[in-house]
A and B are shown apart, each in its own frame.
Chain A
């Protein structure tokens, strides 16, 4: 159990083994491990990227869909508005036309009525004068009683 040259021999042996490990054993193992680690992390990164872009595409798709829906709704509303406007326009036009026709007809009727009244009055006064002439002879002439006749015609 005494200390002897074994100590030095062991120190030398240890240095040799450490040197072998340092030069030939450790670096390739570490390199392999690091390379694999890098590959795995790269793979994970790529997977994450793919995931992200999928998410992005989904979002874009949803956005487009929403936009299309909104557009469609807008178009539909516009069309509805336009249709109802057309119907309104048409009905108001028709109403106006009817009104116009009605007014025209009423005016026409009044005119005809007035015309008929005038004619009737004329005829009436003629008949009255004629009849009066016949009864009174020449006492009553149209020229002499112009004013009276006129008054009578107006009263009729």
Chain B
């Protein structure tokens, strides 16, 4: 079912994840069958228990790349006698940068998890964001052809290279960004309880800002504040990168579906946007890191209200 290439299908193709999930099917004969599939036409039936395999693939790959780079960069010269060179310089620059930020936001509280967490978040998100600078059609088309060549005959829903969806930038998937924000949220709660104590934590959520006679109002207000943090953290990153990706797709459309002068203009625009996007890529990674540190710093604050 190779569809005709239209503007709509092109955009749609770029915005759809390769989703695998568990599907229960009520077959005509009344036999209830459940199975795993990645068929894009089954996505609606998968419910919550579905996975964006492409997002997770890139996320794990780039996370692994991060670990590899930082482990490899230091492995040769773990002694402090030699002057750092090459990769080690980059690694140390990143660490220095993260340490500075943690120091400025965290102050005197010593928690050895914060800096590694901030480093992981920063470098990982930076790498994921950088996938946005790979030309939009490169990897999806390549993946489609590989999938068609490998499994075109055996899997019934891969009928053409175009029927295989493969979204490249993990941070344009709200599941990924909210997932990370969720992990930060869990850590925030954990440290709030262990550092402040459950009593103080609950008090903070209920006795502020109106005192003990308006506990329900306080709780609702503080809860909104509390929940808004991880959601805004995740959606900010997602929104910025999704919009960036969207503009790349629209510029790419100029090349395919218009006259030659507009196509040429598209090349120029693509370059300009890519250059500008480098800024967003780094900035959003930094913002996510800084807010992660800030939220965890808040969880460590033990001041009385």
Chain A interface residues (CB < 8 Å from chain B)? 1, 3-11, 13-15, 17-18, 20-22, 24-30, 32-33, 35-36, 39
Partner of B117, one of A5, A13, A18, A24: A18
**Is A4 touching B112 in the complex (CB atoms < 8 A)?**
no
A4 touches B46 (CB 8 A): yes
A6, B79: Cβ atoms under 8 Å? no
**Chain B contacts for A22, CB-based, 8 A:** 112-113, 116-117
Q: Is B175 an interface residue (CB 8 A)?
A: yes
Q: Does B116 lie within 8 Å of A3, measured CB to CB?
A: no
Question: Which of A1, A10, A32, A39 has the most CB atoms of chain B within a 10 A radius of its CB?
Answer: A10
Given A5-B49, A29-B91, 17 more pairs with CB closer than 8 A: A1-B15, A3-B174, A3-B178, A5-B51, A6-B176, A7-B179, A8-B179, A10-B55, A13-B63, A15-B183, A18-B116, A21-B67, A21-B120, A29-B95, A30-B115, A33-B96, A36-B80
B48 nearest CB neighbor, chain A only: A4
A21:B80 contact, CB within 8 angstroms: no
Of all chain B residues, which has the CB nearest A10? B179
Interface residues on B, range: 35 or more
Q: A-facing mask of B57-80, CB < 8 A → 1, else 0? A: 001100100110011001001111
The 0/1 profile, CB within 8 Å of A marked 1, for residues 87-104 of chain B is 000011001100100000
6 A-B residue pairs with CB within 8 Å: A5-B21, A5-B48, A6-B50, A13-B59, A33-B92, A36-B80
| Residues of chain A lying within 8 A (CB to CB) of residue B66 | 17, 21
Contact A26 B116 (CB under 8 A): yes
- Of A6, A14, A35, A36, which one neighbours B51 at CB under 8 angstroms? A6
| Residues from chain B with Cβ under 8 Å of A4 in the complex | 19, 21, 46-52, 175
What is the CB-to-nearest-CB distance from B115 to chain A, in angstroms, rounded to a whole number? 6
Specify which chain B residues have a CB less than 8 angstroms from the CB of A5 in the assembled complex: 21, 48-51
Q: 5 shortest A-B CB distances, which residue pairs?
A: A10-B179, A6-B175, A36-B80, A35-B80, A26-B116
Please pick, from B19, B56, B119, the residue contacting A21 in the complex, using a CB distance under 8 A.
B119
B247 to chain A minimum Cβ distance, whole angstroms, is: 17
B30-56 with Cβ < 8 A to chain A? 46-52, 55-56
**In the complex, A32 Cα to B74 Cα: how many Å?**
9
Query: Which chain B residues lie closer than 8 Å to A33 at the CB level?
Result: 80, 92, 95-96
Q: How many A-B Cβ pairs are below 8 Å? A: 126
Q: Are A29 and B180 in contact (CB under 8 A)?
A: no
The answer to whether A11 touches B186, judged by C-beta atoms less than 8 angstroms apart, is: yes
Q: Name B62's closest neighbour in chain A (CB-CB).
A: A17
Q: Which of B170-202 contact A (CB under 8 A)?
A: 173-176, 178-180, 182-183, 186
A17 and B95 in contact, given A5-B51, A9-B51, A26-B119 (Cβ under 8 angstroms): no
Asked if A17 contacts B56 (CB within 8 A), the reply is: no
B70 and A13 contact, CB distance less than 8 A: no
Residues on B close to A: CB < 8 A? Answer: 15, 17, 19, 21, 46-52, 55-56, 59-60, 63, 66-67, 70-71, 74, 77-81, 84, 91-92, 95-96, 99, 112-113, 115-117, 119-121, 124, 173-176, 178-180, 182-183, 186
Contacts A25-B70, A28-B78: A17 and B124 contacting too (C-beta < 8 A)?
yes
Q: Which of B46, B71, B79, B116 has the most CB of A within 10 A?
A: B116
Q: Closest CB-CB distance, B291 to chain A, in whole Å?
A: 15
Output the nearest chain B residue to A38 by Cβ-Cβ distance.
Answer: B80
User: For the complex, what is the distance from the CA of A9 to the CA of B59, rounded to whole Å?
Assistant: 10
Most buried by B among A25, A27, A35: A25
Chain A residues whose CB sits within 8 angstroms of the CB of B74 once the complex forms: 28-29, 32
Cβ–Cβ < 8 Å partners of A29 in chain B:
70, 74, 91-92, 95
Q: How far apart are the CA atoms of A13 and B186 in the complex, in Å? A: 14
A92 CB to closest chain B CB, in angstroms?
Answer: 82
Given the complex, which residues of B lie within 8 Å of A13, measured CB to CB? 56, 59-60, 63, 179
- Give complex CA distance A36, B49 in Å: 49
